[in-house]
Amino acid sequence: MLLSYREALNQAMREEMRRDERIFLIGEEVGHYQGAFKVSKGFIEEFGPQRVLDTPITEAGFTGLAIGAAMAGLHPIVELMTLNFGILAMDQIVNNATKIGYMSGGQLSVPIVIRGPGSAAHQLAAQHSQSLEAWFCHVPGLKVIAPATPHDAKGLLKSALRDRNPVMFIEAQLLYGTKGDVPDGDYTVPIGQAEVKRTGTDVTVVAYSKMLLLALEAAQDLACDDISVEVVDPRTLKPLDLECLVASVKKTGRLVIVEEGWRFAGLGAQIAESVYAQAFDYLDAPIVRITGEEVPMPYARRLEDAAIPDRARIVAAVRKLLQLA
């Protein structure tokens, strides 16, 4: 079935809420407004206001409330209108959700999914365009997922809702309208499993979330020049499926990592370190990172475009790595 990313998320939540009474959805505008990005369209009608809760604009408060409910055995889905607003809930996420299980010696657990769009859309300026996955990935006790396709979005969200741990689920505004094949009926995609999205032999490109789509387009361009690119999508950022990444690098001998977030201490730095540690002898060249520029996101379109990785930059980086530039 051809579904949009938005519809895939809607189905995943709907099916899991039908299956499990403990699951409820809480966030700004998730109910009567039908979701700021219409991900929860029809939910308040089907599940009622006790399971679909519109909140005031208080991210720390309602994320903390959801964590408390999870401690009592419910399984909340917190929708953050964008992950930029998640910064206000960082105390709750970092100091409570990820630590309560450990601090209590395993007496308590916090089964919760905190989801919403990260990364830039179009000209939303500095406070609404951030890619903060490295912040979340840094903290032990949290799983972090960033699917790129409707298929993976649905399968991974269902897995997240069957997991007993806190999960950050990173979407993207520019992915909500993208379409892809989604199987009929119940299926899951396991957390912590990468996927080779395109096989190739000359170079491995690792990319996730909306950068994956760019990487696939770039691979298409490069194929016209007889350059064979293998594109790997980690899908789960933590725990990272290093085995899959390393296997690909061992085959191609070259690695380009694409991420929209800032370079310094970005996720790509960690991926590179892990690959160097396990596949150094297989690399024919240093690992190349393509990242967002280290500036607050500018509003002006030309400047914004210059701040975010694009297809041409990936093509150029691959050609340079293969010394064809």
| Residues of the shown chain interacting with another protein in the complex, contacts defined by CB under 8 A | 24, 50, 55-56, 58, 60-74, 91-92, 95-96, 100-109, 111, 140-141, 143, 164-165
Q: Are 173 and 117 contacting, i.e. CB atoms less than 8 angstroms apart?
A: yes
Residue 138 annotated in active site: no
What H or E segment, with its residue span, contains residue 119?
none
What H or E segment, with its residue span, contains residue 170?
strand 166-172
Q: Give min distance, CB of 139 to another protein, in A.
A: 10
Q: Are 178 and 37 contacting, i.e. CB atoms less than 8 angstroms apart?
A: no
Closer of 139 and 205 to another protein (Cβ): 139
- Token pair, residue 85, equals 């607003």
The residue annotated as part of the active site, out of 7, 16, 28, 59, is: 59
The number of beta carbons lying within 10 Å of the beta carbon of residue 263 is: 14
Q: Give min distance, CB of 55 to another protein, in A.
A: 7
Q: Give min distance, CB of 24 to another protein, in A.
A: 7
The number of beta carbons lying within 10 Å of the beta carbon of residue 147 is: 27
The DSSP letter of residue 85 is G
Closer of 69 and 172 to another protein (Cβ): 69
Burial letters 293-325, b for 16+ CB under 10 A, else e: eeeebbeeeeebeebbbebeebbebbbebbeee
Residue 46 annotated in active site: no
Termini Cα distance of the chain: 41
Q: Are 254 and 285 contacting, i.e. CB atoms less than 8 angstroms apart?
A: yes
The residue annotated as part of the active site, out of 128, 138, 217, 293, is: 128
Helix (H, G, I), strand (E, B) or coil at 2: strand
Q: How is 225-287 classified by DSSP, letter by letter?
A: TT--EEEEE-SEEES--HHHHHHHHHHHS-EEEEEEEESTT-HHHHHHHHHHHHHGGG-SS--
Q: Give min distance, CB of 168 to another protein, in A.
A: 13
Closer of 67 and 146 to another protein (Cβ): 67
Q: Give min distance, CB of 50 to another protein, in A.
A: 7
Closer of 27 and 268 to another protein (Cβ): 27
Closer of 68 and 253 to another protein (Cβ): 68
What H or E segment, with its residue span, contains residue 318?
helix 311-321
Closer of 99 and 251 to another protein (Cβ): 99
Q: Give min distance, CB of 28 to another protein, in A.
A: 13
Catalytic positions: 59, 128
